[in-house]
Structure 1
Amino acid sequence: MLELLAPAGSPEAVTAAVQAGADAVYLGYGDFNARRNAKNFSLEELAAAVSYCHVRGAKVFLTLNTLVSDRELPAAARTAAEAAEAGVDAVLIQDLGVLRMLRQVAPRLVVHGSTQLTVHSLDGVRRCAELGMARVVLSRELSRDAIEHICLNSPIEIETFVHGALCMCYSGQCFFSSVIGGRSGNRGLCAQPCRLKYGWGERADANPLSLKDMSLAGHIQELKKLGVKCLKIEGRMKRPEYVSVVTGIYARAIRESREPTPEELAQLEAAFSRQGFTDGYYLDRKGPEMFGVREEGQEPRELFAQARTQYQSGERQCVGVVFYAMIRPGEPVQVGVQDEVGHTVTASGPVPEAARTRPLTAETVEKQLSRTGGTPFLCTRVRALVEPELSVPVAALNALRREVLQGLARERGTPAAPELGTFHAGVRYENRREPPVLTMSLRRADQLTRELTELRPALLYLPLEEAAAHPEAVRLALEGGRVGVTLPRVCWDREREELRRQLAVVRDLGVTDALVGTLDLIAPAREAGLALRGDFGLGVYNAQSLKEYKRFGFASCTASFELKLAQIRDLSKCIDLEMLVYGRLPLMLTENCIIRNRSGRCACGNPNLLTDRKGERFPVVKAPGCRNEILNAKKLFLADKQADYRRAGIWGARLLFTTENPRECVQVAERYLGRGRYEPNDFTRGLYYRDVE
């Protein structure tokens, strides 16, 4: 049976979701979840929500799916321990440091991989399984063929989004909100810059980054056949009435093995949409028709009023129970109840008297005990042993029924004592004292010149696709020293054969290292025999995550550029740490090609600048797989701040070359080596000196 997972941004939304038929809800407690702007729950509300759900047979999943700093980890550990004591059924995580902490604090707590992990391939799922996760939420961009391949071969459960808002960027790879506004989506405070207006000329007069909400209503039975375990509805920021309407429609369709009716589809659109819905990613049909904006209209008052009445005044009977009764002369009446998982509660009543007129029958007992209306329990059977010629007041039977059902509710709603431990940060590693080496990553092979290689970078990264296509560039780079390849952050299973071919080519050319940006690309790099180096896409935000990547065999990792310099300095570095010190920071990685959406043709070779409302211009460049990468309008520049980052204890300071011409690359590198006076016309210090929420 498909599990339906509904959002709960408030206690009222929990009620709405469960009464509408959700099998599970996901919610946030504390400051470490990807919807920190939602109301979220107090500890008392969390405990009450878990009890409410468990009594009614629903599960509760806690979102701990943000990047967490070292200083925050002890508080996150307390949150996890409190959630385990409250009885949550699973925790969703993005940060591998949080996963490592959970193993210490609540070792038996089930862990799910959040969509923020950017898992989009079978290899990514397998890495999650290696890490001990029981389930992973796939990237929303995947097609049904991609989902099917993963489900057929996955060692763990697969969860997919089925309804709600679509991010323009692959989840976990978006830095737009943090770099531009200091509010990080990876930290749970996305300001949704993708919903704003942008343009391709002087004016921001369109919405090229605002996707319609997804809706896979119409594909529910197919998803079940594909092997998906859980369908997830997005919307923790939405009101309870919305949760009730959407959950109810999907729950009925799942329960009745059908797709939503035209009337139900209209209700979904009335509840919330952005000029309709899209299933473009699922059908592998990307394009401008997937985009839309929220149009102000009248609230569906009648629809929401009906939903409110349904979850506020009704009690859905969703837990099957069996009653037992034994009525014999000279002994107190015995009544018991048992649920589907074996919880049993019994109670004793008065001693029956001899019948004066109408003796009690088994049918009468069954009739009274099966009256469970107004409770979450549905009587499926009554087994009554009633000796003849006895009498028991009906009121007594009713009282016994209420007593055992109340006892059953208490038993179901009381969490088992969890196994808890203590979080220990572990041994602290001393920072490097020697200055960092200079590393460089290029975006195009034509940026590489002999003049650049003569500057002897400690490690020079070329994009894998470019390196495989331009062996002469690899040979030239090798003259300057060690050479690595930057792997695409996103590479679907259908793209793996070509990726492996390219890896074999560059390995034979002498490439020794692979810069890996997601869990999905660890295996191909390993298989090619290349040294693993972690890129910024892994979201290294604390020392515990570094330890996890060390376990995977990484030689180095790149610090998240959402960290402040002081935080990077304070990281205990069990492996070499690199940081970006120059370049246009990547803001978005998109499956939809907005360049093609604009012009109707491939035009990646031309300059493409996206203009915002303030006149800032963001380069849009091609990413592997005909995807787009949106880069920051301003270049990160720290050449005059080298004393600051040299104190951070890092192994490597990386120059990230993107839109620069070959001469600019040399000038920048020379400046970072203490020569020349190069300085960008307009630059930023990034987030290294300012707090990110």
Structure 2
Amino acid sequence: MELLAPGGDVDAIKAAILAGADAVYCGLNKFNARNRAANISFEDLQGLLRLAHAHHCEVFLTLNIVFVDPEIPALFKLLNKLVNTRIDGLIVQDLGLFYLISRYFKTIKVHASTQLTTHNAGQIQFLSELNAQRVNLSRELSIKEIKALTLVAQKNSILTEVFVHGSYCISFSGLCYMSSVHGGNSGNRGRCSQPCRDQYETTPAGKNYPLHLKDNSAFFDLKELYDAGVDSLKIEGRMKGFEYVYTVVKTWKKQLRSFYKNGEPTNDDRDLHKVFNRHFSNAFLRGKITQDLFIDNPMSRSTQHLLAASDADLKTKTTKDQMAFYEEKDQLKTDIKKEIERLSIAKTPLSIVVSGQCGTPLKVSLKMPDASFEVHSETNMSDKGTEPLDDKALLSRLKAINDTAYFIDHTTFTLKPGLCLPFKELTTIKKKILFVLNGSREAVPAVNWPVLKKHSTPIEKPALSVLIDSIEDIDLSNDPTLSVYFQLPNGFKNAKDGLTDLFLKNRPLIPWFPSILIGEDYKAAVDWLGHLWPQFIVTNNSGIAFEAFKKGIPWIAGPFLNLTNSYALLGLKEKFNCFGAFLSNEISEQQIRAIRKPADFHLYYSIYHPVVLMTSRQCLFHPITGCPKKHIDDHCLQDCEKQARITPLKKNPFIVEKAKGNYHTVYNATNFLNTAIAKDFPHLFSGFMIDLRAIKTDTKRALDKKELIQLFKNHLSLDADAAEQLHQSVQPTIHTQYKQGI
């Protein structure tokens, strides 16, 4: 199994290499999901690639955020440079970027980011269609679930990667919008400000950090992971320092060696407790999600663990032990720093000698500290031509060398003045040189980013749709001018039979699939889809999207697939026959304006809904109101129905809801209402949706549902007074994301 280490800056990457990592993942100073890390420059990258490969360590670059259209030219410029490096893979979240790489940069290996929260077989098949070589499985999965998905991955020639050490997110990755809504720092853009870890007003259960989890550690689960067929073990920590990376990687490497030698892991994890940690848990991996996963303290527990392990019975001895611990940490940091400084990522200097004479080929000799080679033109030089060769002209042609792990340090130009060579010969010489410097790989020519046309298919009048989750609202589907979506549960297995009867009796109802469908619930949803064969569906889960595509069932991409650019829409249409999509509610008016929808494609947008802040597999009521059960069992997902409030210090409260058949969800106290978009984009969207599910927030409606629907219809018909009436009838509301974007 590969040991995959984090690299938040140059020193951390060097530390990972020194400690024995098999691979490192790191980000450049833009376009990655750890914007607050120091990250590295492209200049650093070339030297790091050389250093890592010399130590048999691979380097994966994180481009694991969602993109907006104005960024695509800069992204393409970067991809054109990366394709000619020796990078071992790119870690990607955005479906548009998957599409672009699979079409224009086929030699680049792509890994599916944890931000895609991959947790079922259909999602792996979906990613296989996008040419993913590796998938980082959801952090919430058990060993049993991981093993089942790894078998699917192997059948699709995909590697699996599992998160084994470091900080947990309490939300399913990619489905947390708390930082985005409150502060404009989207987790899907690498700017998460971690408001979940903030202090809250003391809960009825007596907790001040109710959304705070212990750290993950699968240190004693190696045998099970190995037996499950997992290919890569990922350590979290791009925000942490080099001493943390070194200690954790070295300890894990030692554990792996012991396991390979003896067939069992050791029981010694003492060194892991010496660096930052919030205590450890492997509850998700063990499939035993208990209240013990929570910790009501955001601080590191390394010192506390030391004192607990000490046999000191006197305060003076405790203080002495603590001082010795800090001295040991400082000494370790100093020692690692010395080792790091010995590793150079400086580019390798090249000396170039240019020689030849009239009637002979041009010869370019290149010398490095440990090797040398020469290349020749394929035609002879002549004293006839319009552009005589000189050192300035030649160096201009060879400047691409400086984008590699080498740089031109010195040149000697011995040609007689006036000699000429065709331009194409200089290009050939450059390619020959780059071929050698790039490990005997042909240079890939630059690709111009594909400018998408604006298709002139204006919508006369956008339709209105409504999302419901109660059979009491089924009669709304009798309105022929209204599309009615019915929210399907996460716990699909036990609800399947009832849902079959419901949809067979109410054919106009349109299934709305949730973001999370794990294990037997996913299989039940797939079986149900094939049995019901609806006219079309809306899905927020790419696994269900794949199944709909395979079965030939028309489908619309839901708002939680995080679609933010034109290329994601184009990829879904071309590769999966998607006929429409909801744009993400995270993007702003200006970012929507840049969207170019594909021909014969429908765009949708949710203009009124309770705002999802996060979705969690953990029981959020343990630290909030308390729960008599110590762990989650099969009945919790199906039967539990609760709601509570938590309030960050000096901020507005959040609503925590557990509906029957669904995972725990945190909602904003105030609903989203965006009436401006209908006026701002009168001809872009095929339809707008309002969410009338039975989710109780602080937003109150003065009208019943049918009256409210009629008012929204009036608004979409450009009734001048309807918007004002809506804002008076539905209060309070927000639409901050439409203004701030991502």
Task: Indicate the TM-score class for this superposition, using the shorter chain for normalisation.
Answer: 0.7 to 0.9
Distance 1:646 1:476 in 2: 36
Q: 1:228-247, aligned counterparts within 5 Å?
A: 228-247=230-249
Question: What SS does the corresponding residue of 1:71 show, helix, strand or coil?
Answer: helix
- Call closer, same or farther: CA 1:494–1:103 in 2, change over 3 Å: same
Give yes or no for contact 1:581–1:653 (8 Å, CA) kept in 2.
Answer: yes
Distance 1:467 1:685 in 2: 36
- Cα deviation for residue 304 of structure 1 reads 5.4
Distance 2:501 2:102 in 1: 48
Report the equivalent of 1:687: 737
Report the equivalent of 2:486: 461
Report the equivalent of 2:589: 565
Q: Which of 643, 649, 654 in structure 2 is aligned with 1:613?
A: 649
Matched, 1:542 2:531: no
Deviates more, 1:151-160 or 1:99-108: 99-108
Report the equivalent of 2:286: 283
Question: What SS does the corresponding residue of 1:169 show, helix, strand or coil?
Answer: coil
- Call closer, same or farther: CA 1:5–1:417 in 2, change over 3 Å: farther
Give yes or no for contact 2:147–2:229 (8 Å, CA) kept in 1.
Answer: yes
Distance 1:495 1:472 in 2: 18
Report the equivalent of 1:530: 553
- Call closer, same or farther: CA 1:262–1:473 in 2, change over 3 Å: closer
- Cα deviation for residue 92 of structure 1 reads 0.5
Question: What SS does the corresponding residue of 2:621 show, helix, strand or coil?
Answer: helix
- Cα deviation for residue 285 of structure 1 reads 0.7
Give the counterpart letter for 2:590 in structure 1: A
- Cα deviation for residue 270 of structure 1 reads 2.1
Q: 1:366-381, aligned counterparts within 5 Å?
A: none
Structural RMSD (CA): 3.1
Q: Which of 512, 517, 520 in structure 2 is aligned with 1:491?
A: 517
Q: Deviations over 1:213-233 (max 9, x none)?
A: 100001123212211111111
- Cα deviation for residue 28 of structure 1 reads 0.4
Report the equivalent of 2:132: 133
Question: What SS does the corresponding residue of 2:253 show, helix, strand or coil?
Answer: helix
Matched, 1:600 2:599: no
- Cα deviation for residue 68 of structure 1 reads 0.4
Report the equivalent of 2:379: none
Matched, 1:589 2:615: yes
Matched, 1:79 2:82: no
Give the counterpart letter for 2:628 in structure 1: G
Distance 2:542 2:28 in 1: 27
Report the equivalent of 1:622: 658
Structure 2-normalised TM-score?
Answer: 0.74
Question: What SS does the corresponding residue of 1:285 show, helix, strand or coil?
Answer: coil
Q: 1:114-263, aligned counterparts within 5 Å?
A: 114-154=113-153, 155=156, 156-198=158-200, 205-256=207-258, 257=260, 261-263=266-268
- Call closer, same or farther: CA 1:296–1:92 in 2, change over 3 Å: closer
Matched, 1:266 2:270: yes
- Cα deviation for residue 286 of structure 1 reads 0.7
Question: What SS does the corresponding residue of 1:67 show, helix, strand or coil?
Answer: coil
Give the counterpart letter for 1:136 in structure 2: V
Distance 1:47 1:161 in 2: 27
- Cα deviation for residue 437 of structure 1 reads 0.8
- Cα deviation for residue 638 of structure 1 reads 2.4
Give the counterpart letter for 1:543 in structure 2: S
Question: What SS does the corresponding residue of 2:581 show, helix, strand or coil?
Answer: strand
Distance 2:457 2:327 in 1: 60
- Cα deviation for residue 457 of structure 1 reads 1.0
Matched, 1:294 2:298: yes
Q: Which of 593, 603, 609 in structure 2 is aligned with 1:577?
A: 603
Aligned residues: 592
What fraction of aligned residue pairs are identical, expressed as a percent?
Answer: 27
Q: Deviations over 1:621-670 (max 9, x none)?
A: 336754112222111112466312435x0111011223358974334322
Distance 1:420 1:620 in 2: 52
- Call closer, same or farther: CA 1:161–1:436 in 2, change over 3 Å: same
Distance 1:316 1:251 in 2: 22
Report the equivalent of 2:392: none
Question: What SS does the corresponding residue of 1:181 show, helix, strand or coil?
Answer: coil
Report the equivalent of 1:654: 689
Question: What SS does the corresponding residue of 1:687 show, helix, strand or coil?
Answer: helix
- Cα deviation for residue 262 of structure 1 reads 4.7
- Call closer, same or farther: CA 1:420–1:311 in 2, change over 3 Å: farther
Give the counterpart letter for 1:658 in structure 2: R
- Call closer, same or farther: CA 1:304–1:90 in 2, change over 3 Å: farther
Distance 2:100 2:620 in 1: 40
Matched, 1:113 2:112: yes
Unaligned runs of at least 5 residues, structure 2: 304-324, 344-369, 373-434, 630-635, 716-721
- Call closer, same or farther: CA 1:247–1:467 in 2, change over 3 Å: closer
Q: Deviations over 1:104-155 (max 9, x none)?
A: 5532011111111111112211211121111111011110001111112322
Give the counterpart letter for 2:65 in structure 1: T
Report the equivalent of 1:60: 59
Give the counterpart letter for 1:633 in structure 2: A
- Call closer, same or farther: CA 1:199–1:526 in 2, change over 3 Å: farther
Give the counterpart letter for 1:580 in structure 2: S
- Call closer, same or farther: CA 1:560–1:451 in 2, change over 3 Å: closer
Give the counterpart letter for 1:599 in structure 2: C
Distance 2:128 2:276 in 1: 35
- Call closer, same or farther: CA 1:82–1:470 in 2, change over 3 Å: closer
- Cα deviation for residue 578 of structure 1 reads 0.7
Give the counterpart letter for 1:618 in structure 2: F
- Call closer, same or farther: CA 1:439–1:160 in 2, change over 3 Å: same
- Call closer, same or farther: CA 1:527–1:10 in 2, change over 3 Å: closer
Q: Which of 695, 706, 712 in structure 2 is aligned with 1:666?
A: 706
- Cα deviation for residue 595 of structure 1 reads 2.9
Q: Deviations over 1:323-344 (max 9, x none)?
A: xxxxxxxxxxxxxxxxxxxxxx
- Cα deviation for residue 250 of structure 1 reads 0.8
- Cα deviation for residue 166 of structure 1 reads 0.7
Give yes or no for contact 1:137–1:158 (8 Å, CA) kept in 2.
Answer: yes
- Cα deviation for residue 160 of structure 1 reads 0.8
- Cα deviation for residue 413 of structure 1 reads 8.7
Question: What SS does the corresponding residue of 1:525 show, helix, strand or coil?
Answer: helix
Give yes or no for contact 1:19–1:316 (8 Å, CA) kept in 2.
Answer: no
Give yes or no for contact 2:137–2:161 (8 Å, CA) kept in 1.
Answer: yes
Q: Deviations over 1:363-388 (max 9, x none)?
A: xxxxxxxxxxxxxxxxxxxxxxxxxx
- Call closer, same or farther: CA 1:608–1:645 in 2, change over 3 Å: farther
Q: 1:281-430, aligned counterparts within 5 Å?
A: 281-292=284-295, 293-295=297-299, 300-303=326-329, 305-306=331-332, 308-310=334-336, 312-313=338-339, 416-422=441-447, 423-430=449-456
- Cα deviation for residue 294 of structure 1 reads 2.7
Give yes or no for contact 1:583–1:637 (8 Å, CA) kept in 2.
Answer: yes
Give yes or no for contact 2:640–2:660 (8 Å, CA) kept in 1.
Answer: no
Distance 2:676 2:80 in 1: 45
Q: Deviations over 1:339-365 (max 9, x none)?
A: xxxxxx889xxxxxxxxxxxxxxxxxx
Report the equivalent of 1:329: none
Report the equivalent of 1:644: 680
Question: What SS does the corresponding residue of 1:595 show, helix, strand or coil?
Answer: coil
Distance 2:19 2:330 in 1: 13
Distance 1:437 1:477 in 2: 20
